[in-house]
Structure 1
Amino acid sequence: MSVQKGSVQPVAIAVIATVVGLILASSFVIINPGQGGVLSILGSAQDGVLLEGIHVKPPFISYVDIYDITVQKFEVPAESSTKDLQDLKARFAINFRLRPDRVVEIRRTQGTLANIVSKIIAPQTQESFKIAAALRTVEQAITQRSLLKEDFDIALSSRLDKYGIDVLDTSVIDLTFSPEFARAVEEKQIAEQRARRAVYVAQEAEQEAQADINRAKGRAEAQRLLAETLKAQGGSLVLQKEAIAAWREGGAQMPRVLVMGESGGSVPFIFNMEQVE
């Protein structure tokens, strides 16, 4: 059975086109914005990062690892002991970016992004938190949270910088301490509230006592002025005034004019009661 020459040509053309297409597809790589590529030939990473655009590469024997060089965010847990040996746990949200000019080095030393997070960022976060937490007590870590974060940021940035990783921002998502310290904080708050209450009661009693003293001084001064006034009109008027006051407090109706005199037939004294009301 003979194969016609005309039927072979289309098959050959299709095969050749397929091979050429595979070669072309394997000879180019497209890097999108926000990405960095590392070209490896026969398993060896080549110098120079591939940035956005179309790049030529040897077909079949090469491949390109793509890295995201935009801002990325990962949450990383950490725990440490404070200056007063209390357990302190935290969870950080870390915004970082791979430095484009260091992507080839990162590819050679760390490999994938997952390795970067698990082998670099996570352990360095832990060590940086230990540095920041050890500078203060657990109470200071809670009340001076912004300072704790500042010390943590400084430590983490300096540690990740040598790996070609820029730390753009961090935030403390959660900060927890031991149950023992939580009870101690609650007891301290209760004690402080009781102490403030005791101070308030003492101040209130002191103010009331001072008010009593002031009222007593006022009555004494009023009595002194009254006595001086009555003495200027005759010493006997003091006793008369006290008698009239006692009479009034007893509930009896006061006469409008009261005639009083001394024993022994002396001239009586006419006292107008309207003058003492």
Structure 2
Amino acid sequence: MPRTLMRVVIPAVIGVIVLSVVLVSSVKIVEAGHRGVLVQFGAVDTTKSLPEGIHFVTPFRDNVIPMEVRTQITTENVASASKDLQDVTTQVALNYHISPNSAQIVYQQLGFDYSNRVINPAIQESVKQVTARFNAEELITQRETVKTEIEAQIKQRLAAYNVVVETISITEFSFSEQFVRAVEAKVEAEQRALQAQNDLVRIQIEAEQAEATAIGQQHANIARAEGQRQANILEAQGEAEAIRIIDEQLRNNPNYLEWLKTQKWDGKLPLVLGEGGTPFIQIPTEEEEP
């Protein structure tokens, strides 16, 4: 290759390489779910953060540090004490993300290890403060209230560090074996007392039902006796009335005397012979009637 051509080609190649390096250095890509922190000669630009996409920066001066702003989760086990000095172990699951518009501040103040620096300590301190205000039994019976207070404490602490709390879950409250046995014994005693109370109410109801049944049976017997008595009276009155009516009708009947004669007859035919020897029946006259 001629020397003159080499003098032209070599600088051109070098220029292309330098230009390529400059272009590569000036183009920065911020991936999805991240914000770019602009660092100029080691100093963080706290005025802004770069959104997702392609960005052109000053080569050899500006550097872009990616900070994840997607939802993250951390789980922390906290050992604390309740108001009545019972040992409590609480497991807290926290969903959070750093504020996208403050990613540069988080990087400047805390770096990438902000979870261990501020989030976990905030969970520990908040849980200990809240559980200390409740008895062990209240931690179980007022679980939602305890969760709300813990969440408020953590949100307040982390807001100062531009960390946004999304949700908090208290996945478990664990107590000492001695306390668990005491709670179980108390529950069993309450159940036995409730069962005894229910039995007493049942016995009382059954006694009242038996009494009501006996009273009802007694009233029924009285009603039946009274009904029978009234029926007998009505029957007697009916018979007497019937006799009276029959007697009255017979007395007004011209055949009444003949009927009386038949009532006096004992069924035997008296035999009386007259002069001609003809038998006849002697009928008593009215004077002979009793």
2:140 matched to which residue of 1? 142
1:16 matched to which residue of 2? 15
Deviations 1:103-161 (A, max 9, x none): 2221111011xx11111111101112123222322222112221111111111111111
Superposition deviation, residue 184 in structure 1? 1.7
Deviations 1:87-106 (A, max 9, x none): 22222222222112322221
1:55 matched to which residue of 2? 55
After superposition, where does 1:55-134 map in structure 2 within 5 Å?
A: 55-112=55-112, 115-134=113-132
| Structure of greater Rg | 2
Name which of structure 1's ranges 57-66 and 22-31 shifts more when overlaid on structure 2: 57-66
Work out whether 1:167 is the aligned partner of 2:165.
Answer: yes
Q: SS in structure 2 opposite 1:58?
A: coil
Any stretches of 5+ residues in structure 2 without a counterpart?
232-290
- Alpha-carbon distance change, 36 to 231 in structure 1, aligned in 2, over 3 angstroms: closer
- Alpha-carbon distance change, 108 to 229 in structure 1, aligned in 2, over 3 angstroms: closer
Work out whether 1:202 is the aligned partner of 2:200.
Answer: yes
Please tell me the residue identity of whatever aligns with 1:32.
E
Give the RMSD, CA atoms, in angstroms: 3.0
Superposition deviation, residue 9 in structure 1? 5.3
Q: SS in structure 2 opposite 1:124?
A: helix
* Separation (CA, whole Å) in 2 of partners of 1:121 and 1:163: 9
Please tell me the residue identity of whatever aligns with 2:73.
K
Superposition deviation, residue 12 in structure 1? 4.6
Q: 1:186 aligns with which of 184, 187, 206?
A: 184
Any stretches of 5+ residues in structure 1 without a counterpart?
234-277
TM-score after normalising by structure 1? 0.71
- Alpha-carbon distance change, 189 to 54 in structure 1, aligned in 2, over 3 angstroms: same
TM-score after normalising by structure 2? 0.68
* Separation (CA, whole Å) in 1 of partners of 2:111 and 2:105: 9
* Separation (CA, whole Å) in 1 of partners of 2:10 and 2:53: 35
* Separation (CA, whole Å) in 1 of partners of 2:53 and 2:119: 29
Q: SS in structure 1 opposite 2:16?
A: helix
